[in-house]
Amino acid sequence: MVHDPVSDPAPDGPSTTPARRAPRFLELEGARNVRDLGGWPRATGGHTPFDVAWRADSLVHATDADRDRLHAVGVRTIFDLRNAVERANEPGAMHEDGRFDVQGVDLMAPLLEARHAGALDGDPFDLRRMYVDLLATGRARFLELFDRMHAAREQGAVLFHCTAGKDRTGLVAATLLRAADVPDEAVLDEYVLTQERLAPIHDRLLASVVATGVPEAAAPGLLGAERPYLEGALPHVDDALLDAARGLLP
């Protein structure tokens, strides 16, 4: 069963009630995978609030109009989850816009360090394994991110993104949704929405992935957002992570 969040025409300002009916996706000129985490059903009743937390792909190509629209929907703090190489290759201009507090939280660094030290076995390009390893090695970074998000919520809505808005962003989104009592089936429904959004920018994303040092033969396999990829990681989103994320989707 697919759990569709409630949706309606474009928003014109912040709100935290499901009756607000903001859209699932925010159509921008320079990003394809920007969406609100509001409108998903809770096991305890009701829906997650709109205009509180947004997920996205890279904002390095965001135009002036895109930044105006993000500000209009209440986004005030942006968490860039990309690693140092990604940020150096494509820094973008979001940090130059004083309306937003842009903070970097590199969720991938501990995983890359563990691989370099030989502490991890298996195929480094298997997304199922990568998600589990990312949660395990990056635990402190995830906790730091959620702590920062709680502080940032006082200023307005938060947005978090990586490059494709799929893996690191997907794990953060899944944790926020589970912490808000959204059933796992709906969490997976939300995750796979990325698949259809990335098709038009596949070549650009492929080039970005290869630029980080991923072999060309392995890179295409990293661009999917299929249900089993996240499904195996959900049991590893433990109580400590859920406790840290609880309240971010009040």
162 is an active site residue: yes
Give residue-wise pLDDT tens across range 18-53: 333 434 899 999 999 999 999 999 999 999 999 999
Q: What's the pTM? A: 0.88
Segment 42-67 shows an average pLDDT of: 95
State the fold for domain 26-245: Protein-Tyrosine Phosphatase; Chain A (3.90.190)
Q: What is the pLDDT of residue 118?
A: 93
Q: Are 82 and 58 in contact (CB under 8 A)?
A: yes
Beta pairing, strands 53-56 & 75-80:
unpaired
- CA dihedral for 189, 190, 195, 196, sign (positive or negative): positive
Give residue-wise pLDDT tens across range 139-171: 999 999 999 999 999 999 999 999 889 999 999
Q: What is the pLDDT of residue 5?
A: 55
Give residue-wise pLDDT tens across range 124-143: 888 999 999 999 999 999 99
Using pLDDT thresholds of 50, 70 and 90, give the confidence band for residue 14. very low
In the chain, where the domains are located? 26-245
Calculate what percentage of the chain has a pLDDT beyond 70: 91
Catalytic residue among 62, 105, 130, 162: 162
Calculate what percentage of the chain has a pLDDT beyond 90: 69
Using pLDDT thresholds of 50, 70 and 90, give the confidence band for residue 3. low
Beta pairing, strands 53-56 & 35-36:
antiparallel
71 pLDDT above the threshold of 60: yes
- Residue 229: phi, psi to the nearest 5? -60, -45
